[in-house]
Amino acid sequence: AQSVTQPDIHITVSEGASLELRCNYSYGATPYLFWYVQSPGQGLQLLLKYFSGDTLVQGIKGFEAEFKRSQSSFNLRKPSVHWSDAAEYFCAVGAGSSNTGKLIFGQGTTLQVKP
Amino acid sequence: DADVTQTPRNRITKTGKRIMLECSQTKGHDRMYWYRQDPGLGLRLIYYSFDVKDINKGEISDGYSVSRQAQAKFSLSLESAIPNQTALYFCATSAIISETQYFGPGTRLLVL
């Protein structure tokens, strides 16, 4: 069965510092992978996605993520965090080419940004 | 205008009451989904629909029902609300050829 683990429930970084949010998945074939962000009181916004091809994907707001098949990981990174990045971040996995249309979400990581 | 809208945005109800949450979309997508979000649990799928005639249970469908009135409308009902259904509910849509889902702003439900 598919599953997604975000090991860090809460992360605090200083503004301007680099950021890495971890995501590990369990799936037998090549999955579709997503990162969503949820700002306070808002819905989920897609940051980036990986379907195939280049394992380093660029997203909106300066975020990027790298798919590492050997580690079953899809970590989200940003070189310099801004105060407006404070939000909850969700990693999700889809069933890849079988296209069931269903996503499995991780538990979420809450990012706090210190001035 | 938002592509995926949810009404109401906030709702307080009492135990035992029937309540309906509504979702509309203008993206022209065939697939629609209902999730609930609880702190520390992420999003869990309640029901999903691949077209008007296709409704499927998700991982936590007990106590909920849905209706797909049209391609653009997907409603979630709580037949007899209970306090542990207090949560943030999200509707989402996706196209057939893609698993990217687009989310509405959410409905915050409190069951007293």
B46, exposed or middle or buried, with CB in 10 Å at 0-12, 13-18, 19+? buried
Q: Give the minimum alpha-carbon distance from A44 to chain B in angstroms, rounded to a whole number.
A: 6
* pLDDT value, residue B100: 86
* pLDDT value, residue A31: 84
Vertex A112: Cα angle to A108 and A113 (nearest 5): 140
| Residues in A touching B41 (Cβ below 8 Å) | 107
Nearest-Å Rg of the Cα atoms of chain A is 14
Contact status of A45 with chain B (Cβ, < 8 Å): yes
Regions of chain B short of the pLDDT cut 50: none
Q: Residue window 34-63, chain B: list those with CB within 8 Å of chain A.
A: 35, 40-45, 48, 50, 58
Q: What is the pLDDT of residues B12-37, one digit of tens each?
A: 999 999 999 999 999 999 999 999 99
Nearest-Å Rg of the Cα atoms of chain B is 13
Q: What is the pLDDT of residues A6-33, one digit of tens each?
A: 999 999 999 999 999 999 999 877 788 9
Point out the residue among B40, B58, B90 whose CB comes nearest to the CB of A44: B90
Locus of tokens 């301007």: A16
* pLDDT value, residue A103: 87
